Amino acid sequence: MDLESARAFVTAVIEQVAPHRRYGRRPTAVFSAPAGVSEVTAICFGGVISHRSCQLAGEELTEALHHYLREEHQIMVGELTAERAKMGAPDTADEQSLVVEGLDAVTGRARLISLDVEEIVEALRPTTTGIVQTLTACLEDLPPQAISDVMSEGVLMIGGGAMLRGLSQLFEESFGLPVKTAERPLTCVAEGATACLDHPEVVAAYSG
């Protein structure tokens, strides 16, 4: 296996196929959003049939919320605070608001604000819309025979981006397909990679 093939193998199996752990022969799509890039990959046993990425992911979402707080609430917060506020609204949370602490942009004094979860969703929407466009491009690249299977199987979300409130709902509303979040989105890649070691047929299928 040459270097380029090795890179493709790692991307396909470890990052995209491993979290699925079902190794099915029907095409399915996986969405991941680490710090620097969002990726959508449609896979089928034996290969990647469609892949798109964009430079919109966790860092851009944090910056969008940071900017929103400054412009709409006149409060300045650090990057870490914005990150915590962004991740403080996971899809599984019951709370409808959270408290954000920062400096008043006018007086420079410490100030607390209560931020509604739905407001966070709207603040992030311009960035999440760009991510949706990436998913759209990935689906448009699919061969006709794979579209119905992907629409039926839906999209599996992994990584930190999968924990953002509103993102899975936005995907569902935009495409009318089911969106599922991995049971352990932050660790499923490592767990799935380990599982691959027990399935030599998967390694063989993606290393050709």
Predicted confidence band at 2 (pLDDT cuts at 50, 70, 90)? Answer: very low
Residue 93 has pLDDT above 50, yes or no: no
More confident residue, 138 or 45: 138
Percent of the chain past pLDDT 70, that is, above it, reads 74
Q: What CA–CA distance (Å, rounded) separates 193 from 52?
A: 22
Phi, psi values for residue 163, rounded to 5°: -95, 0
Centre a 10 Å sphere on the Cβ of residue 24 and count the other Cβ atoms it contains: 13
Provide the mean pLDDT of the chain: 75
Phi, psi values for residue 80, rounded to 5°: -65, -40
- pLDDT computed for residue 198 by the predictor: 73
pLDDT tens-digit readout, 129-179? 888 888 888 888 888 878 887 877 788 888 777 777 677 888 888 877 888
CATH code, 3-56+124-206: 3.30.420.40
- pLDDT computed for residue 139 by the predictor: 83
What 3-state DSSP class applies to 54?
strand
CATH architecture of the domain formed by 58-120? Alpha-Beta Complex (3.90)
Q: What CA–CA distance (Å, rounded) separates 134 from 37?
A: 11
Q: What CA–CA distance (Å, rounded) separates 187 from 31?
A: 15
- Structural domain spans, the chain: 3-56+124-206, 58-120
H helices, E strands: number in the chain: 8, 8
Amino acid at 134: T
Residue 91 has pLDDT above 50, yes or no: no
